[in-house]
């Protein structure tokens, strides 16, 4: 009731009287209530159909949610009722380190005849510093601001490209929402042991040498980020698959053919 009062500009006391059938409301004020609830004026005065009443109740529950919560609701809804089908010219690959974003991204870009872009490179160019120096000198908050600015500028070009994103981008609600609105997002998912093996195969054993708990932390990181990655438009399982099969699956996303995607139940689990 407090949230409805704030959204409609009417007092809580007035709304209580109205709800209990004791208020005498004008058409203008009734319009304020309808607007705050996100429904048409007729929904408040006509005998409600069951579906209309449910929509009104759901709309009322959205009032007062913060931006991050609304992003999660919208992403979950997209899995049930498709939203804006306007063509997106950028294909964005997501996943933690070892997912294959750079390797797969370059191959997909070659197949599509499009440029391959790494968001980390755009961030370094924007900041005039290497990523390690950005964190060491300015910290994580500054990195997030530069990341968002670089992403926003790149997407504003509206030019076809394959974009490899940083693994933690999904944890920044504003940048993640911007990317989902402006690009076709594909999560390259894999099991923790496969990600670990790929990093070691690249000759990088620093995580193991410096931290004996690194693998357990990787598993925890995957579990923490999975609900966010599940908001991507599509997903491709890269575990135990040759690179050619993964590339083909990602290309099919662009072609609009069927490819595995997280179900509505998985998306809705992010709301719990």
Domains and CATH numbers, the chain: 2-64 (no CATH), 90-271 (3.40.50.300)
Query: What pLDDT shows up at residue 201?
Result: 65
Supply 254's token pair. 């662009």
Which residues of the chain fall short of a pLDDT of 50? 82, 207, 257-272
How far is it between the farthest Cα atoms of the chain? 75
Show Cβ contacts of residue 161 under 8 Å, excluding neighbours closer than 6 positions.
89, 90, 91, 109, 114, 115, 116, 117
Return the pLDDT at 216: 79
Instruction: Name the residue among 102, 57, 84, 45 with its Cα closest to residue 180.
Output: 84
Burial label for 163, CB within 10 Å (0-12, 13-18, 19+), is buried
What pLDDT shows up at residue 258? 40
Paired tokens of 219: 């598993």
**Residues 233, 85 contacting (CB under 8 angstroms):** no
Q: What tens digit of pLDDT does each residue of 26-36 get?
A: 888 888 888 88
pLDDT for the residue numbered 47: 57
| Of 199, 168, 193, 169, nearest in space to 182 by CA | 169
**Residue whose C-alpha is closest to residue 187's, from 221, 228, 134:** 228
Distance (Å, whole) CA 199 – CA 203: 7
| Buried-exposed string 102-129: b where 16+ CB fall within 10 A, e elsewhere | ebbbebbbeebebebbbbbebbbebbeb
Give pLDDT, residue 158. Answer: 85
Task: Write the DSSP string, 51-68.
Answer: HHHHHHHHHHHHTT--HH
Measured in degrees and rounded to the nearest 5, phi and psi for residue 23 equal -85, 150
Please give the C-alpha separations between residue 86 and each of 89, 183, 264, in angstroms, as whole numbers.
10, 10, 21
- pTM assigned to the model: 0.61
């Amino acid at each position: 009731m407090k949230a409805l009062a704030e959204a409609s500009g009417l007092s809580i006391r007035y709304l209580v009287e109205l709800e209990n059938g004791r208020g005498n409301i004008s058409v203008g004020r009734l319009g304020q209530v309808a607007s705050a609830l996100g429904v048409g004026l007729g929904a408040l005065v006509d005998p409600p159909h069951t579906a209309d009443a449910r929509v009104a109740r759901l709309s009322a529950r959205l009032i007062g949610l913060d931006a991050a919560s609304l992003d999660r609701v919208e992403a979950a809804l997209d899995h049930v009722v498709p939203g804006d089908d306007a063509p997106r010219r950028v294909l964005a690959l997501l996943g933690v380190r070892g997912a294959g974003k750079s390797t797969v991204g370059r191959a997909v870009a070659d197949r599509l005849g499009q440029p391959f872009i790494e968001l980390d490179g755009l961030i370094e160019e924007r900041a005039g510093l290497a990523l390690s120096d950005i964190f060491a000198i300015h910290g994580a908050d500054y990195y997030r601001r530069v990341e968002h600015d670089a992403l926003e500028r790149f997407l504003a070009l509206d030019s076809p490209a394959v974009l490899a994103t940083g693994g933690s981008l999904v944890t920044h609600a504003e940048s993640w929402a911007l990317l989902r609105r402006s690009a076709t997002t594909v999560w390259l998912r894999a099991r923790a042991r496969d990600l670990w093996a790929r990093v070691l195969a690249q000759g990088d054993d620093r995580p193991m040498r410096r931290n004996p708990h690194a693998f357990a932390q990787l598993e925890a990181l995957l579990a923490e980020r999975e609900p966010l990655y599940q908001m991507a438009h599509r997903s491709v399982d890269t575990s135990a698959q040759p690179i050619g099969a993964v590339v083909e699956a990602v290309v099919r996303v662009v072609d609009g053919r069927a490819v595995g995607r997280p179900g509505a139940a998985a998306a809705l689990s992010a709301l719990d």
